[in-house]
Structure 1
Amino acid sequence: MLRTPTPADACPDDVLGLCDQVLESTGSEGLAQAVDWFVGRPILVLVVFLVTWVVRTIARRVVTRGVQRMILTPAAVARQLERRMTRTDETGEVVADLPAEIDEARRRARAESIGAALATAVSAVVWTAGFLVAMSIIGLDLAPFIAGAGIVGVALGFGAQSLVRDCINGVFILIEDQFGIGDAVDLGPATGEVERVTLRTTVLRGVDGTVWHVPNGEIRRVGNRSQLWSMAVLDVPVSYSTDLDHARELLNEAARSVCGSEPWSGDVLDAPRVLGVESLTAEGVVLRLMVKTVPGRQWAVQRALREAIKTTFDRHGVALPYAPAAAPMPPAPEQPI
């Protein structure tokens, strides 16, 4: 005696109930399974992918907005700079607070890069989970797939080590804010102004206009000349016959005239300081002058200071040392053959 197939036998994984309905209506197990495979399961897989897409979209927006809120909020940036971005007078007393002026392009590029990296990672996790769920609905054994994916991942890891290293270093550069757009940096292989920072590469433009593309994985050290504040450093030589106290007074006079006048007053963060004798050379005594400036303006301030120092020294008759010219040597007498 033949046993009539039950829904539990013909449709063990019927989630939508289509297989059960067809089996009850027609009594055909084959037709019920066909409907389950070609109608029920595809609909369920489509639903899984639709839910995965919705979750991925929401997760990306949450991650992107969260990163932008943490990085682009002016209060968050001001807290990092409020101790350093202040103006002081000659006695060291704070006379005015400088506004925390942050380059919008730099902060936005950093937020976009970090947000894109995290959003990509979230998307990969969500889509992988959705794909695995879809494969289980179809009835595929996931163990061989997971094992194969592991082997492929190991192979890709060995084949793309430099790419992975570049991206990982890029993430740390952005998170730690080692440098950003507009910074003057020394990366070892290249020196210049940062024009673009991505997860894989950093683009610099040198003073001669050369554009350098430096992989982030090749960056072993970072020298940032324009982060938070900069320092204009001048070594001024004077002759040994010059009165050093008088020379220091003239240096202070020239520096104060520059730092207190437009357009340089807005670039100076602190009163100029003459540190004293920096070195003794064969030509004369070297005095060091230092002025704290806003990021990236130290070179312009240095040029203005050199001009003012030269003018002040000439006005007071202070001569700058110079290397003595080598005496011409008489020609060697001809030797008899």
Structure 2
Amino acid sequence: MPRSAAPVPVGLLGVILTVGGSPALASPDAADWSEAVIEPLERAAAAFSTGLRERLARMGAAGLDLDLLWSTLAAAGWPPAKLLAGIVAVVAAGLAAHWATARALGAATRRRDTSIVRAAVSAVAALGVGLVVAYLVAGEAEAARRTFRTWAFVIPLAALASTLIGATIVAASPAARRKRLAPLANGLAAAVAWALGGIAVLRTLAAWGAGSGLQDLVGTAFVALPTAGLMITAYAGSRRPLAATLAGPRPRSRRRRFLARRWPAIAVGIVVVTVVVLQVATTLGRPLPSLATLVTLILALMWPHVDGLIVVWAERGFRAETVSAASVAARRTTRLALAALIGAALAAMWGAPAASGLGIQLGTLVRVTLGITAVALATAYLWNLVGVASDRLLSEERAAQGGHHADEEADPAPHTRLGTILPLVVGASKAGLATLAVLSILLAVGINVWPLVTGLSVFGLAIGFGSQSLVKDVVSGLFFLADDAFRLGEYIETVGAKGRVEKISIRSVSLRHPRGALATIPYGQIGKVQNYSCDWVIEKLAFRVAFDTDVDKVRKIFKQIGQDIADNPDLKPDILETFKSQGIASVDEGTLVIRGKFKARAGHQFAIRKATLAAVQQAFQTNGISAIARPIVTYAPQNQDK
């Protein structure tokens, strides 16, 4: 009896199984993979292939659609010439109204900050005049009314978009780059105007019942591709000035520099992806709304420019002493508010229809979204307020320390007590804000967080009892900081290590040894602390001279050297007591050891010491005083002969 033939695998999976011939590929896991991934992909490819063939066939019949459109227009009493004349009349009326209003407002005021308001008023005037002319020329035909009303919006929207793009890209840029960025703004404005005109053409065709093939051909060949070409050309010709502008003023963060250098390529990619998605959706029979797509594209392209404006605005307020920390925090929070506004616009255009299709109640979705947004904005404002206040305090500290001279070989000046404790307080505050924000968002979503809070409390209590050394370190650190035992930048010595305080955390302190080694010591193991950078330091210098040296002359020389160094404007702020002689310290091997000393601010004695030694050497040479080296004592071998 012949065996039954095995079923032949179909599609991409069948090719893999046939070519591979491996039993592992025919396992149940392979069948699950086929059902979950391969088969949906094959169905999507088949649907795309079918849709592309049908779409090309419809485009091929665009000539017949055009003939049918002419017949429809003639039957309705609107031949093409008459319809075109009406469109020209509406557009010309709107253009004239816009130009006249802008000119009148421009003559009344010349202030630059009114340009956007002037553009908005001119757009409203153009829209009103355009709608009036559209009503007058449309007659009784409903299709003509829809057509002319559509074209009445083209001039106002194009003019307003051009003004906003120019204000965002050119007017807000540094004066040196405005001329180089003008082609980008003009190119994007031209692309938006072309797209708006194309959308009006498509709606005109739809209003008069044009065939889908003609609409598809016009939308692809005369709207989407030219608009994308204008935008890509504009970005390609302004790569360098655009990157320099988006990077913002110095100092620039690494993330912003990275985004600025790559934004022209990212923008071109966004345009290309938008066109591809439009074509794929049309091919699959689910065309995207053209106006919503254009608005989304403009928001995506303009977002970095508006964000850069907010960054410059906030930084200007931070540097101005007259602007309060609360105002600066509000300016910085505007960045998140802008992102929330863009997200709300995109959700209204795309999310609402999708939610309705999925059966989600829009009221509930809006309420939850508003709650999350309110929590995020409040947290961002408090976060920025803490950051602005701490940054201003630290900036004042750095400015106060920057006025003092620092030698190349000297270590950086220690921080103040505020500069040491403030970063820890800021970090703890921001961590608390982030925790509260997460819990509030979970509550807004509808999740009961109290069992989670209780569990975390019990868990933290268990850690506290089980980690006594950790608790000891944290508590000891709090007392060390409260006693002001050391600060960032100070040189200290503990029981186990010594070095300059480089980092202070909630549990340990990190000391950088002069040779470069970094020691991290928990607070509980520090023990006694010797601080060599606290307040002031006395530097003592010893000089060995001949026994017959005039000590009184040396005293006068040292006094003059101290006065000369004190008159040095770079060293004077760090000198607490001038260099002077202490007389003969000792007599060693027939030489005199004369000692001098000075008192200086801790950490700033090195430059003074260097200048003092150089001045003493020069003075000894000028006055004939000889410095004697330390005698070397040698012992002669004893004679062993008796």
The question of 1:272 aligning with 2:578 is answered: yes
Q: Could you tell me how far 1:326 is from its partner in structure 2?
A: 3.2
Corresponding residue number in structure 2 for 1:149: 456
Question: Distance in 1 between the 2:461 and 2:480 partners?
Answer: 23
Specify the alignment match of 1:121 in structure 2: 432
**Is contact 2:577–2:598 with CA below 8 Å preserved after alignment?**
yes
Kept in 1, the 8 Å contact 2:375–2:437? The answer is: yes
Aligned counterparts of 1:104 and 1:273: Cα–Cα separation in 2: 22
Deviation per residue, 1:96-117 (Å, 9 max, x gap): xx95789899689866554233
Decide whether the 8 Å contact of 2:577 with 2:600 is kept in 1.
no
**TM-fit CA distance, 1:302:** 1.8
Q: 1:153 to 1:49 in 2, by over 3 A?
A: farther
- The whole-number CA distance in structure 1 between the counterparts of 2:602 and 2:461 is 44
CA gap 1:232/1:260 in 2 versus in 1, 3 angstroms: farther
CA distance in 1, matches of 2:613, 2:414: 32
**Range moving further from structure 2, 105-114 or 58-67:** 105-114
Kindly indicate whether the alpha-carbon contact (under 8 Å) linking 1:250 and 1:312 is maintained by their aligned counterparts in 2: yes
Match of 2:377 among 47, 54, 72: 54
Taking the aligned partners of 1:45 and 1:325, their CA distance within structure 2 comes to 90
Are residue 251 (structure 1) and residue 558 (structure 2) matched? yes
Report what 1:303 is aligned to. Answer: 610
Q: Deviation at 1:234? A: 1.7
Q: What are the residue-to-residue correspondences of 1:80-119 with 2, within 5 Å?
A: 99=403, 114-119=425-430
- How far has the Cα of 1:243 moved from its partner? 4.2
Partner of 1:212: 518
Q: Distance in 2 between matches of 1:101 and 1:280?
A: 35
TM (norm. structure 1) is 0.56
Distance 2:584 2:431 in 1: 53
- The one of the two structures with greater contact order (alpha-carbon pairs below 8 A, sep at least 6) is 1
1:328 paired residue number: 636
The 1:308–1:204 alpha-carbon spacing in structure 2 relative to 1, beyond 3 Å, is: same
Instruction: Say whether the 8 Å CA contact 1:170–1:198 is kept in structure 2.
Output: no
CA shift for structure 1 position 46: 6.8
Question: Which amino acid in the other structure matches residue 247 of structure 1?
Answer: V
Contact kept, 8 Å, 1:195 with 1:203, in 2: the verdict is yes
Q: Give the number of the structure whose residues are more often strand, by fraction.
A: 1
Count of paired positions: 271
The answer to whether the 8 Å contact 2:620/2:626 transfers is: yes
| 1:39–1:154 CA distance, 2 compared to 1 (3 A) | farther
Q: Distance in 2 between matches of 1:235 and 1:203?
A: 34
Question: What is the Cα deviation at residue 66 of structure 1?
Answer: 2.4
- How far did residue 152 of structure 1 move? 0.7
CA–CA distance in 2 between the matches of 1:309 and 1:152? 67
Quick check: 2:544–2:627 contact (8 Å CA) kept in 1?
Answer: no
- Any conservation in 1 of the 2:582–2:594 contact (CA below 8 Å)? yes
- Mapped contact 1:275–1:287 kept (Cα < 8 A): yes
Shift of 1:119: 1.3
2:635 match: secondary structure:
coil
Question: After superposition, what is the alpha-carbon deviation per residue over 1:211-235, rounded to whole angstroms, capped at 9, x for unaligned?
Answer: 314246254525243x666554323
User: Counterparts of 1:254 and 1:117 in 2: how far apart (Å)?
Assistant: 50
- Change in Cα spacing, 1:213 to 1:50, as seen in structure 2 (3 Å) is farther
- Number of the residue aligned with 1:88: none
Contact kept, 8 Å, 1:167 with 1:216, in 2: the verdict is no
What letter is aligned with 1:116? Answer: G
1:236 maps to which residue?
543
Q: Is residue 232–residue 299 contact of structure 1 (8 Å, CA) maintained in 2?
A: no
Question: Is residue 289 of structure 2 the alignment partner of residue 289 of structure 1?
Answer: no
- Decide which moves more: 117-126 or 190-199: 190-199
Aligned AA (1:274): K
Tell me the residue number matched to 2:625. Answer: 317
1:267 to partner: Cα distance: 6.9
Instruction: Tell me the C-alpha RMSD between the 2 structures.
Output: 5.1
The alpha-carbon deviation at position 256 of structure 1 amounts to 4.2
Higher helix share: 2
Change (3 A) 1:155 1:241: farther
1:246 and 1:159 map into 2 onto residues whose CA distance is 67
State the identity %.
15
What CA distance in whole angstroms lies between the structure 1 residues aligned with 2:434 and 2:472?
18
Residue identity in the other structure for 1:328: A
- Structure 2: state its 5+ residue gaps: 1-358, 407-411
Per the alignment, in what secondary structure is the counterpart of residue 575 of structure 2? coil
Q: For residues 482 and 433 of structure 2, what CA distance do their matches in structure 1 show?
A: 18
- Secondary structure of residue in 2 paired with 1:272: strand
Q: Is contact 2:414–2:603 with CA below 8 Å preserved after alignment?
A: no
Q: Structure 2 CA distance, aligned partners of 1:105 and 1:328?
A: 53
Answer whether contact 1:233 1:291 (CA < 8 A) is retained.
Answer: yes
| Alignment TM-score, normalising by the size of structure 2 | 0.33
Would you say the 8 A contact 2:414–2:487 is kept in 1? no
Matched, 1:69 2:392: yes
Deviation at 1:153, TM superposition (A): 0.3
